[in-house]
Structure 1
Amino acid sequence: MEFDIPRNVILPVDHLDIRLDPAPHPFETANSEAIEANWIAEKAANPALFDGTVVLLSALSHRQGRLEGNCHAVRFATFMHWRGNRSHARAEHVYAHAVLVSRDNALVAIRMGGHTVNAGSVYFAAGSFEPSDFRDGLVDVDFNMAREVEEETGLEISRARRDERYHALSLESGTVIFRRYFLDRDADELAETISAFVASDPEPEIQGPVVIRGPHDLPDGLKPHMLPLVRWHFTGTE
């Protein structure tokens, strides 16, 4: 299967089949010494980094609304080394976004904290898939979305109304699977709730909320993959 997915276009996803392979990722096995050397340098530059466990893809395809993939648990150190060498690696990143839509049709995103890998960047609350996001070897995308949103913003979305289908956008930097969640509060009220949660957290992951009210209301620090998602929500096109 390897990587057989159209790039730079929003794709409908009616069926997800992304599985966790118990075997080591070939990229991690082949680059163990370089991974360790890079991790020492990364930690020296940012001591707050934590070498947890995430997943990297070894295959991904999209056909007739089916998104199928194969991934492996790897060290976060492996992910960081891959980020700097992705053009030469037979590995890719997949992650998910709960696209939070307020009652007044604004999008509610977040700005990442200064101690994080993506310091200052703006995107929807998210994190890489972890082994705990898989059920019987199959990824539970909505569990990942709800977990990441609650950890970063304090919002509980598991019972919120949501789009019937997922969508995906695959770029050279990775593939994002996303789904709109419709919250029964206006954007300003949601932003106040998130700000209060951040203020009460002794080690917050984010600086705070970012409200996007239209296709031209683009904040500084917006990650490139966010632009087509914002346009898609407000205009129905990329």
Structure 2
Amino acid sequence: MSFDLPRNVILPVDAVDVRLDPSLHPFERDNQAAIAENWRREMEAKPALYDGTVVLLSALAYRDSRLVGRCHAVKYSTFMLWRKNRELSGAEHAYAHAVLVAGDNALVAIRMGSHTVNAGRVYFAAGSFEPIDFRDGLVDVDFNMIREVGEETGIDLAVAQRGQRYYALSTASGTVIFRRYQVAESADEIARRIGAFVAAETEPEIAEPVIIRHAADLPDGLMGHMKPLIEWHFAGEQA
């Protein structure tokens, strides 16, 4: 199966069948010394980094409106080296975005904190899949979305209205699986709540909320994959 899916186009996704393989990812198995040396340098630059556990794909395909794939738990230090060796690594990254839609149809994204790897970058609150996001070996995309948004912003999406289906956008940097989550409050009220949450945190992951009110309202620091998602939303594509 390897990696077999259209790139740079938004795909409708009715189901995500990505399973966690308990074996070591070949990239981690074969690059132990390089991973350790790169991590040493990363920690010198950003001492707040934590070598937790995330997952990397070893296969992903798009079949009949389904994403089917295989992934492996790896150390974050492995992920950091992989970021610098994507093309020949035999690995890819997938992550999820809850597209947070306010009652006034504006989008609410976040800007990452200065101590993080993506310092200053703007995208929807999100994090890599972790082993906790899997149920009986199968990824629970919505659990990941709700967990990450709650941890970073304090907003509970468990009671929000979900879009009817997922969508995916696969690029050279990874595959984002996304879905609308609609809440009743205005964007300004959501941003106020997020700001209060961040102010109360000892070490917040994010610097601030970012409101996006129309397709041309693109903030500084916007991650490359975000522009197609923003245009998709404001074009009124079906949920």
Aligned position for 2:106: 106
Q: Alpha-carbon deviation of 1:11?
A: 0.2
Q: Distance in 2 between matches of 1:120 and 1:88?
A: 28
Aligned position for 1:197: 197
Aligned position for 1:213: 213
Aligned position for 1:131: 131
Q: Deviations over 1:10-61 (max 9, x none)?
A: 0000011000000000010011111111000100111011000000000000
Aligned position for 1:24: 24
Aligned position for 1:163: 163
Instruction: Tell me whether 1:97 sits opposite 2:97 in the alignment.
Output: yes
Aligned position for 1:55: 55
Aligned position for 1:73: 73
- Unmatched 5+ stretches in structure 2: none
Aligned position for 1:15: 15
Q: Distance in 2 between matches of 1:236 and 1:186?
A: 18
Q: Distance in 2 between matches of 1:197 and 1:158?
A: 18
Q: Alpha-carbon deviation of 1:87?
A: 1.2
Aligned position for 1:141: 141
Q: Deviations over 1:178-214 (max 9, x none)?
A: 0000001000000000000000001100001000000
Q: Distance in 2 between matches of 1:61 and 1:212?
A: 32
Q: Distance in 1 between matches of 2:127 and 2:43?
A: 20
Alpha-carbon RMSD across the aligned residues, in angstroms, is 0.7
Q: Distance in 2 between matches of 1:91 and 1:207?
A: 30
SS at match of 2:157: coil
Q: Percent identity?
A: 67
Whichever residue aligns with residue 47 of structure 2, its letter is: P
SS at match of 1:150: helix
Q: Distance in 2 between matches of 1:37 and 1:54?
A: 19
- Unmatched 5+ stretches in structure 1: none
Q: Alpha-carbon deviation of 1:236?
A: 4.3
Whichever residue aligns with residue 156 of structure 2, its letter is: E
SS at match of 2:158: coil
Q: Distance in 1 between matches of 2:108 and 2:32?
A: 39
SS at match of 2:87: helix
Whichever residue aligns with residue 125 of structure 1, its letter is: A
Q: Distance in 2 between matches of 1:197 and 1:41?
A: 32
Whichever residue aligns with residue 107 of structure 1, its letter is: L
Q: Distance in 2 between matches of 1:63 and 1:24?
A: 26
Q: Distance in 2 between matches of 1:206 and 1:225?
A: 19
Q: Distance in 1 between matches of 2:215 and 2:121?
A: 18
Whichever residue aligns with residue 213 of structure 1, its letter is: R
Q: Distance in 2 between matches of 1:53 and 1:142?
A: 19
Deviating above 4 A after TM superposition, structure 1's stretches of 4 or more consecutive aligned residues are: none
Q: Deviations over 1:95-134 (max 9, x none)?
A: 0000000000000000000000000000000000000000
SS at match of 2:210: strand
Q: Alpha-carbon deviation of 1:67?
A: 0.4
Aligned position for 2:40: 40
Whichever residue aligns with residue 167 of structure 2, its letter is: H
Q: When the two structures are superposed, what TM-score results if normalisation uses the length of structure 2? A: 0.98
